[in-house]
Amino acid sequence: MKLPHAQLAVLKTASADEDRPLTEVATEADLKPAAATRAAFELEDDGLVSVSEETDESVSLTDEGRQYVEEGLPELRLYAAAVDAGADESPVSLGQLIGASGLEGPAVDIALANFARKGYGEVDSGEVSVDPDADPDSDPERRALERLADGDDPDADEATIDPLESRGLVAREESTVRSVQVTDEGVNALMAGVSEAETVDRLTPELITSGEWEDVEFTEYNVEADAEQFQGGKEHILRQTANRVKDVLVGMGFEEMEGPHADAQFWINDCLFMPQDHPARTHWDQFALEEPSEIQDLPEDLVERVRSAHKDGVGPDGDGYHSPWTEETARRLDLRGHTTSLSMRYLSGHQIGELEPPQRYFSVEKVYRNDTLDPTHLLEFFQIEGWVMADDLSVRDLMGTFTEFYERFGITDLDFKPHYNPYTEPSFELFGTHPETGDIVEVGNSGIFREEVLSPLGVDCDVMAWGLSLERLLMLMYGFEDIRDVHGTLCDLELLRDVEVVH
């Protein structure tokens, strides 16, 4: 029998009496680990060896863990300072202890949280008392960190490693350990005599020019063999999903809108019949620009019609807001809190000239809000804006469009709830179900524009419109629970690396 070099080396190095780790076999046979693994799988396919797999968990120190091995865990430094200051006799002020312990910045909070958790003592109204019987020398977390620093097995149970991991002091890593053993068939083959077959694993220019490629035997591909993982840059899933949303909407006959991120309150709010004293128009909700603070080119006739809608209402029965309206406020520049500003620019004819119905437009763009960061809110996020202009639109058209759109992303359980917007009547909020938690998640807001919006814009047919959250769509598609998993310093790198957006 003839076998390629690597297979022959593995077969000869492995044993028929015991499972041997492949890494060991590779070193002894002078093969790269990946080559040895590939050879072992090929031999296994031919029944000459058996390959077994086990998952091995290893724990290693992080940089912060290493730092604490040198400096001491913050809670132990606090304990030592407290004992020195006599806190085992009577409580000592926390401020004094922090100074004495040399703890600074975040280390203070870390010390306090773990001090109490590990039973070193108590902190009550700024006074620290310690348990005189606590024994920092045999602190299991400290011992585990020190053993790791010495290159030993931490020799600790989960109850010790778990908190160290969540404190970011150690990292757990799982790896697959493979072992090989020669089968009876393999032993028979060896006894009958196996020699090395000439195989070529790489096509070179020489092989091609000499024509030799026709006679050589090529190594077979093994797509299951371990390969090194390359983590190069890739398009962020948010961007990938945004592109997919664009494709879907273009497929549904929509055209894309573009426009400024910082815009006049006129386009962001006034055209939308939002009174100038509406709470959403203050800095509590929107970011204002200091420099420049105003827009120059507003279409005068439109400004006049919008002002009149706010003051006097629209149509014979219309009634305006009985609150002040100034052009100065309308000119002010803000970061847009929604992309409905773009819809106003397009519907008014200001952006690309007048549009005749039917029309469909969309944008997938960033918006900015002065929100408090939490698992479902960011200061900036992507809004999927869209509108359809046509005669005789109804709520059924709106719901049908959403059902069709979300179905493309595998979301088929939409719920609608009546809502209020100053600019649409009727208005609906949209909800989906989170695939992991089962919670109902708001994914968007929509409605049919009011007369008070359309009439000043010069539109005399129906327009239905919406703003959907791209991030929330992602949460429903991929099941993550915290929006910060995909953004910023808390992001889940594994998720970002591994998630594939299917087109």
Number of H helices, E strands in the chain: 20, 19
- Residue 263 Cβ, how far from ligand PHE at the closest point, in Å? 13
- Residue 341 Cβ, how far from ligand PHE at the closest point, in Å? 9
Cβ atoms of residues 485 and 435 within 8 Å:
no
- Residue 77 Cβ, how far from ligand PHE at the closest point, in Å? 50
Cβ atoms of residues 128 and 82 within 8 Å:
yes
Q: Which is nearer to ligand PHE, 241 or 445 (CB)?
A: 445
- Residue 421 Cβ, how far from ligand PHE at the closest point, in Å? 5
- Residue 380 Cβ, how far from ligand PHE at the closest point, in Å? 13
Residue nearest to ligand PHE (CB): 467
Q: Which is nearer to ligand PHE, 120 or 254 (CB)?
A: 254
Residues at the site binding ligand PHE, with contacts judged by CB under 6 A: 338, 340, 421, 424, 445-447, 465-467
CA 170 to chain centre: 23
| Rounded CA separation 143/129 (Å) | 24
Surface-to-core class of residue 207, CB atoms within 10 Å of its CB (0-12 exposed, 13-18 middle, 19+ buried)? middle
Q: Which is nearer to ligand PHE, 33 or 357 (CB)?
A: 357
Q: Which is nearer to ligand PHE, 79 or 273 (CB)?
A: 273
- Residue 201 Cβ, how far from ligand PHE at the closest point, in Å? 58
- Please calculate the CA angle 174-175-181 and round it to the nearest 5 degrees: 145
For residue 190, give Cα distances in angstroms to 7, 14, 55.
Answer: 12, 12, 31
Helices (H), 259-409: 265-268, 300-312, 327-331, 340-347, 395-407
Q: Which is nearer to ligand PHE, 13 or 424 (CB)?
A: 424
C-beta atoms surrounding 418 within 10 Å = 10
- Residue 443 Cβ, how far from ligand PHE at the closest point, in Å? 11
Taking Cα atoms as reference points, which of 268, 387, 280 lies closest to residue 339? 268
Q: What is the CA radius of gyration of the chain?
A: 34
CA 377 to chain centre: 13
Q: Which is nearer to ligand PHE, 149 or 390 (CB)?
A: 390
- Residue 442 Cβ, how far from ligand PHE at the closest point, in Å? 10
Q: Which is nearer to ligand PHE, 109 or 258 (CB)?
A: 258
- Residue 408 Cβ, how far from ligand PHE at the closest point, in Å? 20
Preceding peptide of 426 cis, ω within 30° = yes
Three-state DSSP state, 30: coil
H or E element at residue 474: helix 470-478
- Residue 236 Cβ, how far from ligand PHE at the closest point, in Å? 23
**Partners of residue 93 on adjacent β-strands:** 127
Preceding peptide of 132 cis, ω within 30° = no
**Partners of residue 196 on adjacent β-strands:** 3
Surface-to-core class of residue 192, CB atoms within 10 Å of its CB (0-12 exposed, 13-18 middle, 19+ buried)? exposed
